[in-house]
Amino acid sequence: MSKITRRTCMTLALAAAAGGCAEFDPIFGALTPGPASDSLNGLAKAKGLRFGSCLGTGPSSAPGGAADRRGSQFDDANLRTLMTSQCGMLVPENELKWYSLRKSPTTFDFRRADKLVDFAEANGMAIRGHTLLWNRAQWFPDWVANYDFGPTPRAEAERMLRRHIETVCGRYGKRIFAYDVINETVMPETGELAETVFTKYLGPDVVDIAFHTAREAAPHAQLVYNDYMGWEPGGGKHRAGVLKLLERMKKNDVPVDALGVQSHIGSNNNPGGAPGFAEARETEWRKFLDEVVGMNLDLVVTEFDVHDKDVPGDIPTRDRAVADLGRAYLDLMLSYPRLRYVMAWGLVDKYSWLQNRPPRADGLPKRPCPYDENYRPKLLREAVANAFRAAPTRPSMKAG
C-alpha cells in the first residue's frame, strides 16, 4: 500500500473507521481484548474512545529542573497493575524527550524508553510518542546551546533535527502509533514561536521540517502538535498563537493530523474559579476548539490532571472540587466527536509531576490524579468514568 493510501486509511480510521482499513487503525487495532469493560479504558471503549496514562521509569533528568521527589513509577508493581487494568494506552512521561535520549550530539540512549515500550506492548497498550521536539530552550540537553553549528548553521540545524526524528521513528516503527511531533512552541505571552537554536536557524520552517520528516519516517502515525493553551479567560494570546500556527501549517500542507490539548487544569493553570471563567469556557474555549476542528484536525487530550494547589479544605472537599472541575472539563471536551482518546498525566497522586511544583499552603500532598497514594479510586476516577459513560458514541466508530 502506498504512503498516500496508508495516510488516507489512517485518516479514515481516525475519523470514520471505514471498513477495509483495519490494519491501519492505529489506536484500536492493538487493543484486543484490553482491560475489563468497567475499567476506564473499557468505559471509554464502549463509546469508541480510549483512555491511557503516562508512566515514567525513574527520577527525571530534566536540565535545571527541580529535584524529582517522586519514586520510580515503573518499579512499583501496584502501579503497573493499575496501568494494565485501567489503560488501553501508554505514553512515556519523559523518556523520549531530548534531555533523556540525547546525552551528546552523537548518541541516543533508548534504554528507559524501550522499557516502557516493551511493557506497553506486552500488555496490549497502544503507545504515544512524546515528543520529537520540545521546542523550548530550557528543555534541551545543555550541549544543544553550546553546539557549533558551523559555517552553514541552517543546514546543520536541519540535519540535526531530521536525524533525531528519523532515528526515533526508525527505532520504534509501527510500535508507536502517534507522535507529539512538536510540543509547546507557542509562547503564551506573545503567541509567537519560542526562541531556540532551531527557530534561530530555521525560523518557522522548523515546524514544517519536523512534521514532514515525521511523516516520511512514520507514515502510519498520527502526527500531533501538542500545547497547553487552555480555557482560562487570560489565555487568549496563547490560543490565538496556536491557531495561527495551525493555519500556517494547513496552508503550507504540513502533515498535521491533530491538536494535542495537554489539559493540565486547575490551580495556576486554568483556575476554575477565576472571574469570567464560566463565560470564557463556553465562548472563547469552544470557539477555539471549533476553529481547530474546522481545520479538519482531530483533538486529543494528552496530559489530563487537575491541580489542587489552591483548593482549600479537607480532603473530601478538595477531592469533590477536583472531580467536579475534571468532569466539567471532560464533558466539554468529549462533546467534540473528533476527540478520540484521553490520556491522564499520571494515575496515582504520589507520582504526579505536580508534587515537584510549588507546594500547597498547608504543605499537604496534592491530589490531582484519579487514584490516591494507596491506589484507591478517588472521586476524580468516578468523574472520568462518568464522563465516558455520558459521552456521545463517536458517530462513525463501532462501539465495544
Binding site for ligand GLA (CB under 6 A): 130, 183, 228, 262, 303, 353
Nearer to ligand GLA, 262 or 270 (CB): 262
- Closest distance to ligand GLA from the beta carbon of 103 (Å): 18
Nearer to ligand GLA, 237 or 357 (CB): 357
Decide: residue 162, CB within 10 A, 0-12 exposed, 13-18 middle, 19+ buried: middle
273 to each of 163, 200, 266, 270, 314, how far by Cα in Å?
A: 45, 39, 9, 9, 18
Nearer to ligand GLA, 348 or 397 (CB): 348
- CA torsion angle for 79, 85, 91, 93 (degrees, to 10)? -10
- Closest distance to ligand GLA from the beta carbon of 235 (Å): 15
Nearer to ligand GLA, 213 or 262 (CB): 262
- Closest distance to ligand GLA from the beta carbon of 346 (Å): 9
- Closest distance to ligand GLA from the beta carbon of 130 (Å): 6
Taking CB atoms, the residue at the shortest distance from ligand GLA is 353
Residues paired with residue 342 on neighbouring β-strands, in sequence order:
51, 301
Nearer to ligand GLA, 100 or 213 (CB): 100
Element (H, E) at 108: none
Nearer to ligand GLA, 13 or 89 (CB): 89
**Residue 199 backbone dihedrals phi, psi, to 5 degrees:** -75, -30
Nearer to ligand GLA, 353 or 388 (CB): 353
Taking the C-alpha atoms of residue 182 and residue 194, their distance in angstroms, rounded to an integer, is 12
- Closest distance to ligand GLA from the beta carbon of 301 (Å): 12
Nearer to ligand GLA, 69 or 376 (CB): 69
Taking the C-alpha atoms of residue 274 and residue 233, their distance in angstroms, rounded to an integer, is 8
188 to each of 91, 218, 236, 241, 285, how far by Cα in Å?
A: 25, 30, 8, 8, 15
Query: What value, to the nearest 5°, has the Cα angle with vertex 286 and ends 280 and 290?
Result: 150
- Closest distance to ligand GLA from the beta carbon of 239 (Å): 16
Among residues 214, 206, 303, the alpha carbon closest in space to that of 257 is found at 214
- Closest distance to ligand GLA from the beta carbon of 142 (Å): 18
* DSSP 8-state secondary structure symbol assigned to residue 372: -
Query: Position of cell 523518556?
Result: 95
Q: Is the preceding omega at residue 33 within 30 degrees of 0, hence cis?
A: yes
Nearer to ligand GLA, 45 or 97 (CB): 97
Taking the C-alpha atoms of residue 151 and residue 313, their distance in angstroms, rounded to an integer, is 60
- Closest distance to ligand GLA from the beta carbon of 168 (Å): 15
Nearer to ligand GLA, 84 or 302 (CB): 302
Helix and strand element counts for the chain (H, E): 14, 9
User: 236-251 and 205-217 helices cross at what angle (nearest 10)?
Assistant: 60
Among residues 258, 262, 252, the alpha carbon closest in space to that of 297 is found at 258
SS3 342: strand
CB atoms inside a 10 Å sphere around CB 82: 20
- Closest distance to ligand GLA from the beta carbon of 227 (Å): 8
- Closest distance to ligand GLA from the beta carbon of 153 (Å): 27
